[in-house]
Structure 1
Amino acid sequence: MKKPASIFILFALFSTGLFSQETSIMIRAQAKDAKFIGSSIGGAKILVKEVLTGRILAEGLTQGSTGNTDKIMNSDWQRNEPLSEESTAGFEAVLNIQEPTFISIEAYAPINKKQAVVMSSTQLWAIPGKEITGDGVVLEIPGFVVDILSPQTHERISESSEIEVTANVVMMCGCPVTKDGIWDANQYEVKAVITNEDGEKSELSLEQKDKPSTFTGKLSLEKGLYEVLIYAYDPLTGNTGVDRTNIIVN
């Protein structure tokens, strides 16, 4: 007895993947103790991979705003209450999968700040046609972005000069750090560690004064080659950040 032709047609369609479905997953990166990482700081680079093969299924940047400050930082959240809004930064990964697929999601952020970029990742099953929307998959990005503004890299400075050490310190979403602000400079420890060519170290505390996110201090050095490392540390959240440069005193 011959099998109906329709059975063979259905088998052919299934085997060629025509039953695969596009499946959307919203992915966001959120700075620890702060807001979402979006266009204003260059976004987070997102990679979605099939775990078993490492094949990249989708990639892109989170785009949009850092989100609603009052909702994220000042409100008591209810279970299942979304923190994001329509304009909040995210990346919509559209996967073309034929069966439930175990995937990894990686976020590298903030992607344009190479000395500060952190990778956060998670794994989950993606099921064809079962979209993940709203806040979606949120990956936490810990740390600070620290940029040394002065002294400049390889700057030659007179031994008789007073050296101004200045760094810009912001949250990983770019949110500003100010005294008594939402991100309180009084809470953070920001120091310069100066190392000479013999490996001897000294420390200088930096303070945020007039300009938001800008920490400064002054020192004098003898002739020699020096590495200047500046770190930021929050003892309450564990957020940290580092930048470093080299100078010549002559």
Structure 2
Amino acid sequence: MFKCLSIFAMAMMIVSQAFCIETHVFVRARAKDAKFLGSSIGGAHVIIRNKFNQQILAEGKTAGTPGNTAQIMDTARGRYALMADAAAAKFDAVLNISEPTLVRIEVLAPANHRQSQVNAAVEMWVIPGKHITGDGVILEIPGFIIDILSPRTHNYLRLSSLNSQPLTIQANIVMMCGCIIQKGGLWNGDKMEVKAIVKKNGQLLQEASMSCVADNLFEGKLHITEKGEYQVTVYAFDERSGNTGVDIVNFVVL
């Protein structure tokens, strides 16, 4: 009897698979106030699950270009005008489904920058054979990618060398899509608030303002007069878009 049930279950599975229809869903990750996350920044990791049983239906990374700047950033774009051109980064998810399926589309982005990575998700019904292409499903990724370049992590510095000149704090800051932040540019570094919050031995010591000195590069000065264990938190904030980003480094002064 059990053998018959097993054969019946397998037969039903084969029949069900035979009626599955390949359904394409384009998934894109767009940096807030910027462009698509594509190959140049390492893409965005996409997972599509069946909402009811959590089965993974498709998984992969977005690939392609960040897209056309004018086409994406032009606020006068019409209601149904496409934001993405043919080369703009996407993940072409192919779902094999036999009936309308409620799915959860999850994006982890940027895929290769874990300290800046955020999770965005949306749930929607997908109908067999009804492809969702064109712009597809666009998930917004807020924030900045921040990498503190100086001081280096767990670097040991001599107080004697810091008495004559301040310590330079440097951070590389880019949009989540990799778009360039520069003085006076479309993503204007002069309009962003960037600061370093400094702690010594766990206690707040001071804040130092940082300014854009080159493409994606922000710099500030820190006056150190005592030995100790230091932590520097660099944050960026754009009041116009609400984008934020943070990186943290620890170092020691002997």
In 2, the alpha carbon distance for the partners of 1:245 and 1:13 equals 54
In 2, the alpha carbon distance for the partners of 1:44 and 1:218 equals 34
Matched, 1:133 2:124: no
Question: Which 4+ runs in 1 deviate beyond 2 A?
Answer: 11-17
Q: Deviations over 1:215-239 (max 9, x none)?
A: 0011221100011110000111110
Which residue number in structure 2 is paired with residue 105 of structure 1? Answer: 105
Helix, strand or coil: the match of 1:177? coil
| CA separation of 1:71 and 1:157: change in aligned 2, threshold 3 A | same
| CA separation of 1:12 and 1:60: change in aligned 2, threshold 3 A | closer
Which residue number in structure 2 is paired with residue 5 of structure 1? Answer: none
Percent identity, please.
46
Amino acid at match of 1:42: G
Question: Which has the larger displacement, 17-26 or 166-175?
Answer: 17-26
Q: Is the 8 A contact 1:58 1:93 kept in 2?
A: yes
In 2, the alpha carbon distance for the partners of 1:21 and 1:49 equals 17
Question: Which has the larger displacement, 168-177 or 12-21?
Answer: 12-21
In 2, the alpha carbon distance for the partners of 1:152 and 1:31 equals 28
| CA separation of 1:215 and 1:12: change in aligned 2, threshold 3 A | closer
Deviation at 1:179, TM superposition (A): 1.4
Helix, strand or coil: the match of 2:159? coil
Unaligned segments of structure 2, at least 5 residues: 1-10
Helix, strand or coil: the match of 1:190? strand
Helix, strand or coil: the match of 1:40? helix
Unaligned segments of structure 1, at least 5 residues: 1-10
1:184 to 182, 188, 197: 188
| CA separation of 1:182 and 1:14: change in aligned 2, threshold 3 A | same
Which residue number in structure 2 is paired with residue 212 of structure 1? Answer: 215
Q: Is the 8 A contact 2:16 2:98 kept in 1?
A: no
In 2, the alpha carbon distance for the partners of 1:218 and 1:143 equals 24
Question: Which has the larger displacement, 94-103 or 72-81?
Answer: 72-81
In 2, the alpha carbon distance for the partners of 1:12 and 1:226 equals 64
Matched, 1:89 2:89: yes
Q: Deviations over 1:36-70 (max 9, x none)?
A: 00000000000000011111100000000000012
| CA separation of 1:196 and 1:125: change in aligned 2, threshold 3 A | same
Deviation at 1:200, TM superposition (A): 2.4
Which residue number in structure 2 is paired with residue 4 of structure 1? Answer: none
Q: Is the 8 A contact 1:159 1:220 kept in 2?
A: no
